[in-house]
Amino acid sequence: MSAIFRSHLDKFIHLSDQEYQEILTFFEAHSVSKKEYLLQEGQVCKKHYFVLKGCLRKFFINEKGVEQTTEFAIENWWLTDHIAYERQLQSGFHIQAVEKADLLSISHSSQENLLQQHPKMERYFRYVYQRAFAASQMRIRYLYGLSREELYRHFNEHYPEFVQRVPQYLLASFLGFTPEYLSEIRSRNRS
C-alpha cells in the first residue's frame, strides 16, 4: 500500500530504501468508510492527511446552515485545515470521506521532526505547498473570471472523470451554487 506513497515521493525527490523506511515511521495509516469524519468544526486540527485511495472533502457550514465544500482531495493530494493545523487551533472546517478511503496521516509535531531530520522532505513539502498554492491561484482566477454556468462547463470539460465520481450536490457546493441551479444548467446543456 505504501508503495503508492513511495512512487509519489519519487516524482519530487530521490530517496534510498532506508531513508524511505525511516520516513514512513513518522506516518500513520488509516482506512475510513464513506461519510466518516476526520475532523469536525471546533476540534483542534491534529493531522495532515495524504490520500492513497478514495476521496475526501473539506467544508464549512455557512450562516444559513448550508454546507460549502471548499476542497476535494483525491489520490496523491494532501488535505488539512492549514491554518488550524499549523497553529494547532480549533478548526472552522469539517473533513469527511466522500468515498471509503485509504490514508496516511502525520501529526504537526511529527511533521516538524520529519522536516528537521530529513531536509529532503523540506524540499518535498515546499513543492507540495507551491503546487497547492498555484492550483489555488488558478481557482481564484476562475471564480472571478467566469459565471457560475461557465464555471460548471469549464470544470466539466477539464475534469470529466471527477464530475462522474462525486454526487451533484457536492459538485454544486464546490462550485459555489445550488443543486437546483446545477440541475437547470444540465438540462439546458442537453437540449
Partner DNA sequence: CGGTCTCTTGACGGAGTTCAAAGCTAGTGG
Partner DNA sequence: CCACTAGCTTTGAACTCCGTCAAGAGACCG
Site for DNA in 48-67 (CB under 7 A): 64, 66
DSSP state of 26: T
Residue in 29, 109, 129, 178 binding a second copy, rule: CB under 8 A: 129
Choose among DNA, a second copy, none what residue 144 binds, the Cβ cut-off being 5 to 8 Å by kind.
a second copy
Residue in 130, 136, 178, 189 binding DNA, rule: CB under 7 A: 178
What torsion do the CA atoms of 32, 38, 40, 46 make, to the nearest 10 degrees?
160
Q: Which is nearer to DNA, 46 or 148 (CB)?
A: 148
Residue 117 in contact with DNA, rule: CB under 7 A: no
| Grid coordinates given for 69 | 465544500
String marking each residue 28-67 x if it binds a second copy according to CB under 8 A: --------------------------------x-xx----
- As a whole number of angstroms, the distance between CA 56 and CA 58 comes to 7
Q: Around 65, how many Cα atoms within 13 Å sit in the side-chain half-sphere?
A: 0
Q: For residue 69, what are the contacts with CB-CB under 8 A and spacing of at least 6?
A: 57, 58, 59, 170, 173, 174
With CB under 7 A as the contact rule, which of the stretches 41-49, 126-134, 144-152, 155-163 interacts with DNA?
Answer: 144-152
